[in-house]
Structure 1
Amino acid sequence: MNVLELNDVTKKYGEFVAVDNLSLQIEKGKVVSLLGPSGCGKTTTLRIIAGFTSPNSGTVQIAGRDVGHLRPYERNVGLLFQDYALFPHMTVGENVAYGMRYRGTAQSAIPSRVKQMLSLVQLVGMEDRYPRHMSGGQQQRVALARALAIDPQIVLLDEPLSALDAKLRLELRVELKEILRSVGATTIVVTHDQDEALSLGDEVVVMGGGKIVQRGTPTQIYEAPADTFVAEFVGRSNWFRGASCAQSSNGTTLFVTKEGIEIRVKSELGRQHDTADLCVRPENVELVDFAASELVNIKDANVLSSKVLDVASLGADVHVVVELPGKSRLLVIRKNDGRTADLVPGQPVWAVFPASSVLAFEAPNVN
């Protein structure tokens, strides 16, 4: 059953089209991340679902009911805002109870529901505290408890972790996912943070220009992006733009970059197009001692001569930048397991990556 259905929704601000004929269906119990850069339409879409913004055209249905004529508090939607929007003059308990009091919940049932929600977010015993006496992470939990307390049909989270520092954001990301799963909440998470979107969502909807560019599981979005926009926005990428097709047979295509570098791709793209934009993820590249000359003839592997430009240890990962022929550069990301310990700037190495790891996209036709 679809809890949410957006059908051909469009929202314009003057000549600017914020949401462009968007249709979206979300099944009960699913957590879906809306991911995209600023101005892509994800927040406007959230506001339309919540009832804060009215579309110029299209319909919004929640649990099979058209809610276009309903005000926000009539839609049974739980909201967690970016700044949490807690009432500073109310205690934690009063904040959590607020939505229930204005939605007709029996007065006798409110105290036990408040305790249940605070137990869920691990804040038992803090009912009488005020938000100003709590950390950012605790305030986020209070706001989540308030959103869930009304037993909403949909929970809407607008950049829920962006106000927190990096370490706390990572910790609460795990907690948030566990809480949403435990209550079976149908949830939409709006974020521009790709790590947040991929880790929280059962599905990810990538938006651009007010439209849905791609929808899929986190693995599908990362490993099989629909186009260059998705490949660039989700994850780190090395690009070879406008590579020319030299040969294509048996599912393998050989491209030659503008710098004369040959790159083999497991793709039939060359059969239809003369040029392509090639993408190589940094974690798919291995660096091998230049003395291992036998690597040059490895079947279905790209083995490129290069030299190390920079090595940066970033805790768990090591980022290595190497220079290829023609002065093009390649970022390589490896786990900090000792394999890159001896690399120094100026050192010659082979950059090795399988043909199957190269993503190929039709190059735009530039006249």
Structure 2
Amino acid sequence: MMKVLELKGVTKKYGGFTAVDAVSLEIEQGKVLSLLGPSGCGKTTTLRIIAGFTSPDSGSVEISGEDVGQLRPYERNVGLLFQDYALFPHMTVDQNVAYGMRYRGTPVSAVASRVKQMLSLVQLGGMENRYPNQLSGGQQQRVALARALATDPQIVLLDEPLSALDAKLRLELRIELKEILRSVGATTIVVTHDQEEALSLGDEVVVMHAGTVVQRGTPTQIYEAPASKFVAEFVGRSNWFYGARPRRSDSGMSSYLTGDGVEICARSGQEGSSADLCIRPENIELVNGSAREPVDYPGHNVLLGVVLDVAPLGADVHVVIELPGKSRLLAIRKNVGRSQALLPGEPVRAVFSMSDVLVF
């Protein structure tokens, strides 16, 4: 597939602070790439460099094989959806969507039909004459998206596109946004600090930290095989046992002893070194029962504990287990009703596969 965008060793500094540090990445035609990371990691600066609002100190930006470093933002065939939507309050929906096309010299005869097509795509047909202050937040977001797509850009750049919306509407529009981008085959970069947004929208996810790319992969790879402790901590929920000491190894598996005296079996790390162990809450199965009852779970860790807290959260239930030594474990199980409910104070076994333990 053809590369639509390629960044080569892009660096940007502000005084002594390096916002973007030798970032190289590329995106192919029709793909959606999520740039994910905490505030200050460099993702928005990277987006601004692609758009042409910020000039890199070194490195290059190529769009469809052309170095666009000397081109102004409006000279790059890029569509933008800002975090605050940046709609013109004195213009109608029709005028907002048409603005970019008129600015770029689209024939007047083609503008009206293109606007109608875009508003139909974002399900805002019939609202052409409304002003932004007459629209809901979700409708404003759709107008901004229609405007970004109207010029048929080579790349669409979305900066925290759903952050201004409430949680329920954010979920609904996230699904719609993905469908719209897929239907028009838009090559898209989404900048976000929201893990779910990045993992659900992107064909691939680029995780950034301290101005650098620390991992790139499919959403499944990022979540299930994080390349570093930072990625494992930032993406998804995790239980951590820091500084666990290896005791014995056999067939690529080691027994680790945590600081609280809990023994956990996992794949072997570096010989003789301590390790940080990560266990995803959804990989933990909870089984009622005390230490006196027989246990047989080959290939699994079985930790005895006591239910400390139970929090039903819709389809899921978050259960906090207190282990010997006062360490705690979060487990997430499906809400299957009261018949299988756990109660605080009950003894429980936390069961999880040795292969599900991430070792750093």
TM-score (norm 1): 0.96
Structure 1 residue matching 2:124: 3-state secondary structure = coil
5 Å-filtered alignment, 1:24-63, equals: 24-63=25-64
| Structure 1 equivalent of residue 335 of structure 2 | 336
Aligned partners of 2:306 and 2:321 also within 8 Å: yes
**What is the rounded CA distance, in whole Å, between the counterparts of 1:169 and 1:176 in structure 2?**
10
Letter in 2 for 1:88: P
Q: What per-residue deviation string (whole Å, max 9, x for no partner) do you get for residues 192-247 of structure 1?
A: 00000000000000000000000000000000000110000000000000101111
Q: What per-residue deviation string (whole Å, max 9, x for no partner) do you get for residues 285-333 of structure 1?
A: 1111114856634211100110011111111111110101110000111
| Structure 2 equivalent of residue 310 of structure 1 | 309
| Structure 1 equivalent of residue 320 of structure 2 | 321
**What is the rounded CA distance, in whole Å, between the counterparts of 1:112 and 1:295 in structure 2?**
72
| Structure 2 equivalent of residue 285 of structure 1 | 284
**What is the rounded CA distance, in whole Å, between the counterparts of 1:278 and 1:216 in structure 2?**
22
Letter in 2 for 1:63: S
Aligned partners of 2:290 and 2:304 also within 8 Å: no
Structure 2 residue matching 1:73: 3-state secondary structure = helix
**What is the rounded CA distance, in whole Å, between the counterparts of 1:277 and 1:176 in structure 2?**
38
Aligned length: 359
The unaligned stretches of length 5 or more in structure 2 are none
Structure 2 residue matching 1:125: 3-state secondary structure = coil
Structure 2 residue matching 1:174: 3-state secondary structure = helix
5 Å-filtered alignment, 1:199-238, equals: 199-238=200-239
**What is the rounded CA distance, in whole Å, between the counterparts of 2:338 and 2:184 in structure 1?**
43
Structure 2 residue matching 1:351: 3-state secondary structure = strand
Structure 1 residue matching 2:282: 3-state secondary structure = helix
**What is the rounded CA distance, in whole Å, between the counterparts of 1:291 and 1:309 in structure 2?**
15
| Coordinate RMSD, CA, aligned | 1.2
Higher mean C-alpha displacement, 295-304 vs 36-45? 295-304
Shift of 1:338: 2.7
Structure 2 residue matching 1:248: 3-state secondary structure = strand
Shift of 1:191: 0.2
Instruction: Assess, with a 3 A threshold, how the Cα gap between structure 1 residues 293 and 113 changes in structure 2: closer, same or farther.
Output: farther
| Structure 2 equivalent of residue 166 of structure 1 | 167
**What is the rounded CA distance, in whole Å, between the counterparts of 1:184 and 1:339 in structure 2?**
46
| Structure 2 equivalent of residue 359 of structure 1 | 358
Q: What per-residue deviation string (whole Å, max 9, x for no partner) do you get for residues 48-99 of structure 1?
A: 0000000110000001000000000000100000000000000001000000
**What is the rounded CA distance, in whole Å, between the counterparts of 1:147 and 1:293 in structure 2?**
64
Letter in 1 for 2:149: L
Structure 1 residue matching 2:214: 3-state secondary structure = strand
**What is the rounded CA distance, in whole Å, between the counterparts of 1:214 and 1:289 in structure 2?**
39
**What is the rounded CA distance, in whole Å, between the counterparts of 1:360 and 1:295 in structure 2?**
29
Q: What per-residue deviation string (whole Å, max 9, x for no partner) do you get for residues 87-134 of structure 1?
A: 000000100000000111111100000001001001111111111101
**What is the rounded CA distance, in whole Å, between the counterparts of 2:149 and 2:297 in structure 1?**
56
Aligned partners of 1:259 and 1:326 also within 8 Å: yes
Q: Percent identity?
A: 75
| Structure 2 equivalent of residue 178 of structure 1 | 179
Instruction: Assess, with a 3 A threshold, how the Cα gap between structure 1 residues 287 and 140 changes in structure 2: closer, same or farther.
Output: same
| Structure 2 equivalent of residue 269 of structure 1 | 269
**What is the rounded CA distance, in whole Å, between the counterparts of 1:55 and 1:103 in structure 2?**
25
Instruction: Assess, with a 3 A threshold, how the Cα gap between structure 1 residues 340 and 69 changes in structure 2: closer, same or farther.
Output: farther
Structure 2 residue matching 1:332: 3-state secondary structure = strand
Structure 2 residue matching 1:296: 3-state secondary structure = coil
| Structure 2 equivalent of residue 364 of structure 1 | none
**What is the rounded CA distance, in whole Å, between the counterparts of 2:338 and 2:234 in structure 1?**
29
